[in-house]
C-alpha cells in the first residue's frame, strides 16, 4: 500500500441498514477521488459472526494496490446514549455489551479504536474508554458539518491526552451515501505502508474544506479562539435556517 496518502475514516456500506453503498460502489467512489484507503465502520448490530466473516473476506478481495478497504464496525451500548465506539481493522468478531468490554475485546480483535461524534454524548467519556481508546473523533463531517471541526471535541481530546498522551484526534466522514461527499480526509505520508499504524502513532494530518491540522489538533490560542467563534456563529446561522420553515408554516396557519 506504499504511496496511498489520502484516506477516509468512519465510512458505512450496505452492510449497514441505513447505507446504500455496496463495497464495489465505495471502491469506485475512492478511485474517482484519488482515495487510497477507506476505514469502514458498519453497524455491528446489523451483522452476525457469519456475515462479519464474509464482510472481512470481501474487503480483502476487493482491495488492491489502488484502493484498500479496511474492515471495521461501530458499536453502541444500552445505557450509554450517543456513545458509539469504532473498531478499525477488525479481524475477529466481538459482541461487547458495555464500553469496558469493548475496550478489552477490541485490543485483541482490532487495530485502532475511536470514540465517535462526542457531541452525541455531551463530551463525557467513561473512564474505561479514556483508559483504552486510541482516538477521539474531533471532526465528524455529518454532525459537525463539512465546514468546521468541533472545538469542544478538541478540548475533550486535549483533556484525554493529559491522562494518556498517546490518544490522537481524527476527522471522520460518518458517510452513509457516497453521493454526498463531505470531503474530510486523513492524510498520511507517501512513505507509509500501513494506514492504521500511521493513525496509531499519530503520523497523519486531518484535512477538511476550510482547514487542516495535525493528529493532536495543535493550534495556538488565537487560532483556537477564532475556530470557537466561527463554530458558534455557524451553528446559530444554521439553527436559524432550520427554524425559518417552521416559523413560516406557523405564520401561514395564523393567516
pTM of the model: 0.92
Confidence of residue 254 (pLDDT cuts 50, 70, 90): low
Measured CA to CA, the distance from residue 118 to residue 197 in angstroms comes to 23
Measured CA to CA, the distance from residue 57 to residue 44 in angstroms comes to 16
pLDDT at residue number 159:
97
Kindly tell me if the per-residue pLDDT of 246 is higher than 80: no
3-class secondary structure, 98: coil
Confidence of residue 240 (pLDDT cuts 50, 70, 90): confident
Average pLDDT over residues 93-103: 98
CB burial of residue 21 (10 Å; 0-12, 13-18, 19+): buried
Considering the chain, what percentage of its residues have pLDDT values greater than 90?
88
Kindly tell me if the per-residue pLDDT of 111 is higher than 80: yes
Please give the residue that has the higher pLDDT: either 189 or 248: 189
Kindly tell me if the per-residue pLDDT of 244 is higher than 80: no
Kindly tell me if the per-residue pLDDT of 50 is higher than 90: yes
Average pLDDT over residues 33-57: 98
Measured CA to CA, the distance from residue 240 to residue 62 in angstroms comes to 44
Kindly tell me if the per-residue pLDDT of 2 is higher than 50: no
Kindly tell me if the per-residue pLDDT of 153 is higher than 90: yes
CA nearest 223: which of 205, 210, 238? 210
Residue showing cell 475512492: 30
Whole-number mean pLDDT of the chain?
93
Average pLDDT over residues 22-43: 97
Measured CA to CA, the distance from residue 227 to residue 219 in angstroms comes to 10
Measured CA to CA, the distance from residue 173 to residue 183 in angstroms comes to 7
Q: Which three cell numbers stand for residue 97?
A: 455489551
Measured CA to CA, the distance from residue 150 to residue 65 in angstroms comes to 34
> How many other CB atoms are there within 10 angstroms of residue 190's CB atom?
9
pLDDT at residue number 248:
44
* Helix 49-62, helix 23-33: angle, nearest 10: 30
Q: ∠52-130-48 over CA atoms, to 5°?
A: 10
CA nearest 72: which of 15, 25, 110? 110
- Between the alpha carbon of residue 144 and those of residues 77, 98, 151, 183, 230, the distances in Å are 22, 26, 10, 13, 12
Q: Tell me the CATH number for domain 6-218.
A: 3.20.20.140
Average pLDDT over residues 224-242: 89
Kindly tell me if the per-residue pLDDT of 1 is higher than 50: no
Measured CA to CA, the distance from residue 74 to residue 5 in angstroms comes to 24
pLDDT at residue number 3:
53
Kindly tell me if the per-residue pLDDT of 8 is higher than 70: yes
pLDDT at residue number 239:
80
Where do the structural domains in the chain lie, given as residue ranges?
6-218, 219-255
Amino acid at each position: 500500500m506504499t504511496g496511498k496518502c489520502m484516506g477516509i475514516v468512519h465510512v458505512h456500506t450496505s452492510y449497514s441498514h441505513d447505507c446504500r453503498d455496496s463495497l464495489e460502489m465505495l471502491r469506485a467512489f475512492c478511485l474517482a477521488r484519488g482515495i487510497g484507503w477507506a476505514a469502514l465502520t458498519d453497524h455491528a448490530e446489523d451483522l452476525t459472526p457469519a456475515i462479519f466473516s464474509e464482510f472481512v473476506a470481501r474487503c480483502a478481495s476487493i482491495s488492491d494496490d489502488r484502493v484498500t478497504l479496511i474492515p471495521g464496525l461501530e458499536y453502541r451500548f444500552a445505557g450509554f446514549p450517543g456513545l458509539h465506539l469504532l473498531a478499525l481493522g477488525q479481524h475477529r468478531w466481538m459482541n461487547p455489551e458495555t464500553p469496558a468490554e469493548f475496550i478489552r475485546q477490541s485490543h485483541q480483535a482490532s487495530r485502532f479504536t475511536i470514540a465517535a461524534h462526542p457531541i452525541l454524548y455531551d463530551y463525557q467519556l467513561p473512564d474505561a474508554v479514556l483508559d483504552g481508546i486510541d482516538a477521539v473523533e474531533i471532526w465528524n463531517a455529518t454532525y459537525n458539518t463539512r465546514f468546521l471541526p468541533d472545538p469542544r471535541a478538541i478540548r475533550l481530546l486535549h483533556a484525554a491526552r493529559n491522562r494518556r498522551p498517546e490518544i490522537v484526534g481524527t476527522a471522520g466522514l460518518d458517510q452513509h451515501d457516497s453521493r454526498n461527499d463531505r470531503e474530510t480526509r486523513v492524510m498520511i505520508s507517501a512513505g507509509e505502508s500501513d494506514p492504521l499504524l500511521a493513525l496509531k502513532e499519530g503520523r497523519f494530518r486531518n484535512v477538511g474544506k476550510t482547514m487542516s491540522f495535525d493528529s493532536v489538533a495543535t493550534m495556538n490560542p488565537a487560532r483556537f479562539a477564532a475556530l470557537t467563534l466561527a463554530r458558534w456563529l455557524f451553528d446559530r446561522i444554521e439553527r436559524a435556517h432550520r427554524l425559518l420553515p417552521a416559523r413560516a408554516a406557523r405564520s401561514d396557519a395564523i393567516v
